[in-house]
A and B are shown apart, each in its own frame.
Chain A
Amino acid sequence: MLRKHSTPSPRLCHPRVRVGQGVRKLPSFDMKIYFHTCFLKVVRHPSRKYTSLQHTTRAVPQATVKMAASRIMETIPGEDGDLFELEAVWRPNREVRFDLTHANEDIEAHYNEPKHRHTLQRSSWSSSTQKVLSSMPSRSMKWNQAAAVNQSRSTKTQQRRPLSICTEDQDVFTDQDDYVDDELLKKLQGLSVGESAQLLREMPLSVSEKRQMRELVVCWESGKPRSANRPLCLYWFQTCLKKVVHSDWSGRQKSLQLWQKVFKNISAHFGMGVLSYFVFLRRLLLFNLLLMLINGLFLLLPQLSNPSSSTRTSSEAEHKSNLWMLTGMGILTDSVMFYGHYSDCQNGSSECFENYNIPLAYIFTFGTGMFVTCVKLVYNMSKAFGKSQSSTNTRSLVFKVFCSWDFKVYKKRSVRLQSVNICTQLKEMLSELSCKKQKRNLCSMLRWLSLHLLVWSICLLCMGACIFAVNYFHLVRPINSHDAEPVYLLILPLAVSAYSRLLPVLFDMLSRVEQYNSPDIRIYVSIARNLLLKGCIFTALCLWFGEIKPKKNEQCWETMVGQELYRLIVMDLIFEVLYIILAQFFWGFCVRNVTLRRRKLEFAIAQEVLELIYSQTLVWFGVLFSPLLPAVQIGKLYVLFYLKKTSLMVNFHAPKKHWRASQMSNLFIKLLFIPSFTGALTCVIYVMWSVKPSSGCGPFRNFDSMLLIIDQAKNSHSLNWLNSAYIHWVYNPLFLFLISGAFLAIIYIHMQVVDGQKVITGRLQKQINFEGEDKKFLIDKIQALNELKSQQ
C-alpha cells in the first residue's frame, strides 16, 4: 500500500504499491492514470491501515507503477496515513499517452483512435508551442467579441474567465476588454431603442455587465435616461403593440397566463409529453373563444336586440321537454342556440333593423370565423414546421445526451424516472448500433405478417361494425325526433361516445401482442388506427344526418342537425366524466391498492389528443347550424381540463416510455388542420351549396341554396363596390392567371435558393474539414521546429 508522507519532496520515497487486476469494482475512485497499455484507477482510503504487501502483475511493469506512485504523490492531496489503492485495467490495442498539462484537474489523455490518426496530441507539446497556441486568434477574447459585434443576431463564444490551456502568459490578452466594449457600444448606439434592447438581451454577457453597457449607451447619447426622452404613453403603446404582433396567441403571451401554475405543476411531475396534451387543450379553447367572439358580436347581439315577431307556431310537445339541457329540445329549440330562430329580414322592418341584414351577416360571420381559424391554424403549422426543420436522424446519440434532459421536471421521483428512462434509451441505442438487425427467416416473417394482418382485420371489423351500428339506430328509434321520447334521443350520442372512447382501448390491448421494430412505429400505427376509427364515426354520422327529414313544413332540418350535434357534444362530456370516474379513479384505486403490483395507470397521450380533435371537428361542423356551439365547447373543455388534471395527479404515474413531444405536437397540429378542419369545412360547404334550406324557418328560407344570398347581395345597391370587385378581380380569368403565375414563380425561386444553400453548406463543411487538417499539420510542424530548436 502506499502511504503518503508529509515530506516536502515526495519523490525521494519509494513507496510500495499493490496493484490488483480484474474488473473488481472500486468504490468511487479518485482519478485515473493512463499508461501505455493500461490505466490505473486510484482510490484513496483515508482511514485504512497500512500493510506491507507488495504484489505486481505482469500487466503493469514496475517502472510504470513507480511512475504512478510519484504522480499520485504530486497530485492527490492527502493526510498522513492515507491508503492508496491502484487497480489496473488492461487495455490492449490502445495506445495511450500520458498528459501532464493539467496540474490540478483530472489527469486525462487522448486516445489515439484509428479514425483520428492525426489527432492533436497535446501530450507532447513543449511550452513554447503551447504559448503560440494560446495566442491563436480563435482562442483570444478580442476575436470572439469582435465576432459578436459583427453579427447582430447570433452569439459567439465569450470568455467569462481566462483560458486554462496555458499556465504562463495568460494575462497578455486580457486587456482587450476595453477595445471590444467600445466596439459593442458603437454597435448598440446605431440601433433604435427596441433593437438595441433585443441585441442586448441576446448577448451572452451577465446581467450586471449588460446593465453597465446599457448605462454607457444611455450616458453616451444624452445625459438623461432613455425613457425620459419619449413620452410614457408612447413607450407603453409600443410595447403593447409589439407584444400583440409578435406574440403567439396559442398561449405564450405574457399577459394571458391562463393555467400557467398548473402547467408548471404538471411538467414538474410528468414532463413534456403529458404537458403537450394540456397545452393542446388550451389552444383549442382559444380557437373556440375566437369563434365565439366573432359569432357573438356580429350575429348573436343583433339577433337578440331585434324586435322579434315569431309567427311560427310550435306545438306543445316541443315546449315541454324535461331534459332540454341534454337534448337541446324544448326551450332551446326556438332560441338563438339554433339556426331556426334567426330571422330572414325579408318582409319589411318588422323583424330586423333596417341596415342589418341578418342572413348576409350569418353567411359572412360563418365565413369570417372559418377564415380566421384557417389562417391561425396555417400560421401555427408553419411555425411548428419551421422549428422542426432538422435532420431526420433524431435517434442519434448526440441528441439523446445533450437534448433529452427535461429541466422542467423537478419532483424527485420524476427526476429519478427520467434518469432511468434516458439510461434505458442509451442502452437500447448502443445495442442497436453494436449488433445489426437480425434478418428474419421465412417462418418468423410469416408469423409476424399474419399477426399484424390479424390485428388489422380485427380493427377494421370493429370499425365496420361501428358504422353499421350507427346507421342501424334508425330502426330502433324513428328518424323524426318530433315524436320520440327525450331519452331515446340520447341513445345514439351515448353509443357514439362509447365507441369513440372504448374501441381505442381495445386497439391498444391488441397492439401489445404485435412486435414492432421501434417504438415510434408503434405510436404511429396506433394513431393511424384511431384516426381511421374517428373517420368512420364521422362518416357514419354524416350518412345519418343525410337521412334526417322534417315531418312537417314548419320543422327545420338545420335545427334538427344542430340539436343532434349539440346532443353529441353534451353526451360526449357526460360519458367522459363517467369514464374518468369509473375507469380512472375507481379502477386506478383498485390497481393501486388491491393488486400486488401497486402501480398507477399510464396516460395515453395520443388517444386523448385524438379525442379532442374529434370533438373539435364536430364543433366546426356544427357552427353553421348552431352558432352558440363554440360556447358549449368552451364550457366542456374547461370542465375537462380540471377533471383530467385532478385524475392525472391522483391516478397516473410519469410516463415510462419516451415521447418525442415536439414532433408529436407538430403532427397533432397538422391533424387538426388537414383531416379535421378541412374535412368539416368541406362537408359544410357542400351542404350549403347543394342542399335546399328548409322553407319554414331560418334566415335562408326563401333561397334554393344558402350561397345564393351572395348573388342577391351583389345586386343590391349598397354593395356595388363588392359586386364590381368580384366581377373585375375574382371572376376575371386573366387576373387569376397572373396571380397564380406569380405565385408559382416565387415558389420556384425559393426552391432554387434552398438548393443553392444546401450546396454551399456542403462546400463549407468540406472547407472546415480541410482547415482542421491544416491546423493539425501546422501544429505538428511548430512542434517539430521547437523540438529541433531545443535540441540545439
Chain B
Amino acid sequence: MASKTLYSQRDPMLKRDGFEDILEERRNSSDLKYALRCYAPVLYKGVTPCKANMLKNIVLQSDQLHYVINQVSQESGEAPDIIQEEASVILEEMAHRLQISTVRFFAFALSKAFKTLFQHVCVNEEGIQRLQQAIQEHPVVLLPSHRSYMDFLLMSYILYTYDLALPVIAAGMDFMGMKFVGEMLRMSGAFFIRRSFGGDKLYWAVFSEYVKTMLRNGFAPIEFFLEGTRSRTCKSLTPKLGLLNIVIEPFFKGEVFDVNLVPVSISYERILEESLYARELLGVPKPKESTSGLLKARRILSEDYGSIHVYFGQPVSVRSLAQGKVNRSTYNLFPRHIPRKPMEETQSFVNDTAYRIVRLQEDNMVLKPWVLMASLLLQNLEGLELSVLTEQTVWLRGLALSYAAFLDWPDHAPTAKVVSSSLALHRGLACVSGGRVSLVVGEPLGPVTPEEALFNRAVSVLSCASYRNQVLHVFLRPAMLAVAMHTAASSKKSEWPGLYNCFSFLWDMFSNDFILCPGDIVQDFEEACYLLVKTGAVQMPQQDIVMTDIGQPTLSFFNGLLEPFLQGYQVVCRYLCEEASEGLTEKQYIPAVRSFAVKLILAGNLRCYEVLSSDMQKNALAALLRMDAVRKVKVADQVTLIVNKMAVNSIDDILGGKLPTQKALLARL
C-alpha cells in the first residue's frame, strides 16, 4: 500500500505519519520463516533480559510487599509466612510467563488469520521508530485504545514484526476462564488481574509491586487499556486510573528518571464483535469467554473486515507533563516502601494525564468514509437517496477535514466508488434498493412480535451508531455549541454568556458519554467557537454568536448528531419522574428504563432507539448522580436510587429546550 500522509488542519504543527501495510510482506513471503526468524529486540538501556521467575522473586522479597504482609498479618492475627504464602499464590495466579515459542506460534497463526480477515493492517512506521527509541531510554507504557479482543494480540504481533520488545499486558481475569487460551495468552505476555479487589490490601500490594518491578527494571514495555474494558459503542470510555497511578508513581518517587506513555490508536474498519456489542447493549448478556465459543466464532473468518490502522502516537514524557504540576519533594518525608494514598495534587495530575492520553488516542483514530455515511444515515432512518447520501458525504468529508479528522479517504477514487465500496463492505448494515439507501433490519425468521421487530431494528441502529460514534470526538465541541444555540433561542441571535451557560450544562451532562477533560470547559468552548467560525457556520460580532447564511446545514447536522443523546437522556429523566417507584434499586434501573422506552416506541411516541442502549442509560444515571438529582442509598444489600423529581424534571426541561439554563441551575440548588 502506498504510504499516505494525512494532515491535520486544526493544528498545522500536528502532522500525522504515513502508514505501511504489514500484511503485504506476509502475503509475499513464508509465514513459517517469519515466525521462526531471529528475534532480538533492543531493551531498556541494554538491560539483560530477566527471567519471569527472577521477577517473581524480586516482587516477593520487596520491602513494599513485606511491609503489607506484616501489616495484614498484624490485622488478621495470621502468621506472616502464611500471608507470604498467600502473596505468592496471588502472584502465581497473576504473573505472565512470556515464552518466545508461544509468541512464534501466535506470529504464525495470526499471520494466517489476519490475511483471511483483513485487507490491510497498517502501521505508522515513524511511530514504531519513536517507540524503539523510547524503549531504550525510559520505561515505556503502551496505552492502546480498546475496541476488540484482537487489540492485544494485534499489538504484540506488530511489536514482534518490528523486532521490538514484547509488552507485558494487564488482562482481565475473565480470560482465565478459557483454559487453554488463557495459558497461551499468559505465555505470550499477558498477566491477569481480578476485575475488582477494592479492599484487598494484599492483592493490591502484590499487583502494584509486580507492575512497578517490571517498570523499574525495564523488563518490558507495560501495556494496559486505560479505558479498562472494550468499548461496546466505539466511543472512548472515561479512563480508569488504578494502573496509571501505579506506573506513574515510580517517577514521583524518583525510582526511575522518567516514564514514557505511548498512546496507541487502533482503528478497525469493521469490528469483529460489531453485532455482538449491539446485542449486549440491548441486554442480551455477553457470552462467557470460553474456548469453544471462540471456535464457534470461526464463522467470522469467512467475512471481510476491511483494514486495521494502528497509530503509535508520540511518546508522552511523564516528567515533562508533571513539570510544575507535581512537586516530587513532597515524597521526601515518607518512606517510599509504605503504601500511601496519592496526594490530591498527584491524583488530579494522574486524572488529567489519563484524559489527555485518551484524547490523543481519539485524535489518531483513523476514520473511514463509512463513518461519515453512518452519521448521515442515522439522521435519516427512513432512508436516503443514494445520490443525496453521496453528495452529503462529500460535504461532510470537507467539514471533517477542516476539523482535523484523521480521515482515510482513498486517493484518486471517484466519490461514487468510495460510497459504493463502503456500502458493500457494510452490506450487513445498510442496503441500496431502488436508489435509496437504508438500514438493514435483521431478517425475521417466521412471524415476529412487535417487540422482536423493534429489537431487530434497534440492533441495526446501535451497530450503525457505533460507526457514527467514531467521528463524535471530532465534532463534539462545535456540536454542543450548536445545540446550545438551538436551545438558547429560536432567534438567530444570542449573547455568548447565555450560550456558555448552556454549553457548560451540556458539557457537564455529557461528560460520562464523551471524553471531556476535567477543567477544560472554557478551552472546549473556545475551541467550539473557533471551529464554527473557521468553517463559516457562525460569526462572532463582539458579545454575540450569530449563525451565518451558510451555517444552516452545519448547525442542523450537529443538532441531529447529538439529538439521540438529548432524547435518550430525556427519556431517562421522564422515566425517573413519571414511572420510577419508591425503592427503585440500581439493579432494576436498566431493565426498567428499557421497558419504559420500548413502551414509548411501540406507542409511536418515541423514535429514538439509542436510548435502549444500556451504555447510554448508565451514563445518564451517572450524570444525574453527579448533579445530585439522584442519590444512591445503601439499604441492606441493595443500592436504592432516590430521585429528586424536581431537579430531574428541570434537567429534562433544559434538555428539551423548554427552560433556560440559568433558571434550571437555580432550581437544582
The yes or no verdict on A and B being binding partners is: no
